[in-house]
Amino acid sequence: MRKTHEGDARVSEKEEKEKGRFIFERGYIDSERIIEPEKLELGGVDMSGRWGTLVLPRTIEQFDHTLFEEVKKLPGGKNIHRCWQCGNCTAVCPVAHAHPEFNPRYLIHITKMGYKTEIKKFKEYVYLCSGCGRCSVACPRDVDPKGVMSALSILFQRGV
Amino acid sequence: MIGLNPVLVVGAGPAGLSAACDLSQAGVRVLLVERREELGGAPARWKYHTLAPDFVPVSRVLGPLIEQVTKSELVEVKKGCVVESFRGSVGDFEVRITELKTRRSETRRVSCVVVATGFEHFDARVDPRYGYGRVPDVIGINELEAMLSQGRVVKRDGSAPKRIAFVFCVGSRDRSTNPWCCTVCCGVSIKQAIELKRILPDSQIYMIYMDVRTTGLWEKLYWDSMEKFGINYIRGRVGEVYHTGQKLLVKGEDTLVRGPFEALFDMVVLAVGMEPGEGTRQAASIFGLNTNEYGFLLPRTPNIHYDSGREGVYLAGSCVAPMSVEEAISDGSAAAMQCVKLMKVMRA
């Protein structure tokens, strides 16, 4: 899925694997939350290595509706605010059956509430949407999830 | 109905007023006893602003009822009084009514009784996790309602709140406090959020809910709050509220993303539930009524509210189960009808 050159991707994957590799149940922690300074000196004491590893909490500290407001401006996303998270869209989505990472219900929610780490983690999966429109038929509140996915992909390409 | 003893109505809230009003209009004499010094029950006591779902001012709903019972020659209103004893049989009960201030008692004869002793808002101090009573700007929906009546919602320091969180199900659906659902607080909270948004259009409002139980036609409030007023919904329950000097730190989990949050708010509004109050407990013991496991008065058949199981004693309103003002008014009328039926038999 990465859009970097093959060589770069290999390096970054290797880096990620090594980051915090000694942490028990490492798989539960997103790489971006692990801070592992190569050299760390505190009060003249060398704290390099495992000592210096810091895992940032995953607590959500604020709700940021800027992306949500941008989505609302685009034709496909104009009804995103109606979503009440029933999950009908994900239930009928043929892509979601094959790829659990692609979950339109979830993408709408993290966009609405502006959960940045989650958006970063899942934004590239927006492009998996095939645009079949089954979600938009199933939606009880006329949100048009297909339209929201296309609005999101436009915004992500613009770098929002 | 001349010649018969009057009907005793205990409690002058929506249900009691409605019963007294209907009885007097049907030509029945009524003795209306109210513990407090004003008529109108909880809506008057807490200065409710409007009623869900259509934002109708409380005065427009209860005003005509109060006017009727005050003006009617058939209704004798006894404010600041309680019933202290009750005996006898249907058609000729003997009750002792005591005025709370002077402790002066009088004995009266009544033909039948409508018990409409109502509810109390849950006291959120009982559940310490929300900081209610300790932390400023954590208020109950009952207090917000009074602020909305004044048309001015402010923090304790006098400034307008920008970010407001509503916490649903406080003192409801919780084994540590009250396990039942109060049935109206979702709708009332959403109604208030919309009213807040009208007064403070720049404010951001977050509803922290477990379920949104806007039953029947109240559902429209829920839809409108999202679609027309941009009110946000977070599914989860609040675990803790802290005061951080300036703001309130609300800890909870957005269960839709499995994400714990710790967000800052200017004001936290607790959707406090309904529970049977002291008046209902006293009524149960004085009139010899059954109560359910939660302390609400227990009708003979659960689905028929007015039938207390004791001949000549009828139940109405939120002393039977949590309910809205609209339901309490119908309940009062239903109980009044039972009295009219009974008196028709007695006269024959």
Rounded Cα gap, residues B51 and A106, in angstroms: 35
Cβ contacts from A onto B, under 8 A = 49
pLDDT surpassing 50 at residue A3: no
In A, minimum Cα distance to B261 occurs at A60
Tokens encoding B28: 């029945």
How much is the pLDDT for A40?
85
pLDDT surpassing 80 at residue A61: yes
How much is the pLDDT for A13?
58
User: Which of B283, B342, B336 shows the shortest CA–CA distance to B312?
Assistant: B342
Same domain? For B208 and B144 the reply is yes
Which residues span the domain enclosing B27?
7-118+277-347
Same domain? For B269 and B295 the reply is no
Tokens encoding B203: 């404010």
Same domain? For A43 and A91 the reply is no
In A, minimum Cα distance to B231 occurs at A81
Same domain? For A112 and A145 the reply is yes
Rounded Cα gap, residues B75 and B68, in angstroms: 9
Among B239, B273, B307, where does a domain finish? B273
Of A84, A85, A115, the CB nearest to B259: A115
Same domain? For B74 and B160 the reply is no
How much is the pLDDT for B81?
97
Task: Please report how the helices A66-73 and A145-158 are oriented relative to each other, as an axis angle in degrees rounded to 10.
Answer: 110
Rounded Cα gap, residues B5 and B110, in angstroms: 5
Same domain? For B131 and B234 the reply is yes
Same domain? For A147 and A127 the reply is yes
How much is the pLDDT for A1?
42
Same domain? For B134 and B51 the reply is no
Q: Model confidence at A4, in pLDDT bands (50, 70, 90)?
A: very low
Contact A61 B263 (CB under 8 A): yes
How much is the pLDDT for A14?
57
Residues 6 or more apart whose Cβ sits within 8 Å of residue B345: none
How much is the pLDDT for A50?
81
Same domain? For B179 and B238 the reply is yes
- In a domain, residue B68? The reply is yes
| High-pLDDT (> 70) share of chain A, % | 89
pLDDT surpassing 70 at residue A112: yes
Same domain? For B231 and B205 the reply is yes
Same domain? For A109 and A32 the reply is no
- In a domain, residue A61? The reply is no
How much is the pLDDT for B170?
97
pLDDT surpassing 60 at residue A9: no
The structure's pTM equals 0.90
Q: In this structure, what CATH number is given to the domain that contains residue A135? A: 1.10.1060.10
- Count up the domains in chain A and report the number: 2
Same domain? For A92 and A28 the reply is no
- In a domain, residue B87? The reply is yes
Contact list in A for residue B233 (CB cut-off 8 A) is 84-85
| High-pLDDT (> 90) share of chain A, % | 58
Phi, psi values for residue B29, rounded to 5° = -75, 140
Distance from CA of A57 to the nearest CA of B (A): 10
- Count up the domains in chain B and report the number: 2
Q: In this structure, what CATH number is given to the domain that contains residue B176? A: 3.50.50.60
Same domain? For A112 and A135 the reply is yes
Contact B206 A112 (CB under 8 A): no
Same domain? For A113 and A82 the reply is yes
User: Which of B332, B326, B300 shows the shortest CA–CA distance to B217?
Assistant: B326
Contact A138, A89 (CB under 8 A): yes
> What is the average pLDDT score of chain A?
87
Contact B257 A82 (CB under 8 A): no
Strand-pair category, B204-209 with B232-235? parallel
pLDDT surpassing 50 at residue A6: no
Contact B197, B165 (CB under 8 A): no
In A, minimum Cα distance to B265 occurs at A62
Contact list in A for residue B204 (CB cut-off 8 A) is 63, 65
Same domain? For B167 and B220 the reply is yes
pLDDT surpassing 50 at residue A7: no
Q: For A47-69, give the DSSP string.
A: -TGGGG-EE----B-----HHHH
Q: Model confidence at A5, in pLDDT bands (50, 70, 90)?
A: very low
Contact A143, A83 (CB under 8 A): yes
- In a domain, residue B2? The reply is no
Same domain? For A46 and A73 the reply is no
Same domain? For B136 and B211 the reply is yes
Same domain? For A24 and A72 the reply is no
Same domain? For B295 and B262 the reply is no
Same domain? For A37 and A95 the reply is no
How much is the pLDDT for A15?
56
Mean pLDDT by 10 residues, chain B (348 residues): 87 98 97 97 97 96 97 97 96 96 96 97 95 95 96 94 97 95 97 97 97 96 96 96 93 93 97 96 97 96 94 97 97 97 90
Same domain? For B72 and B165 the reply is no
A18-43 pLDDT tens trace? 788 888 888 888 888 888 888 888 88
Rounded average pLDDT over A121-147? 96
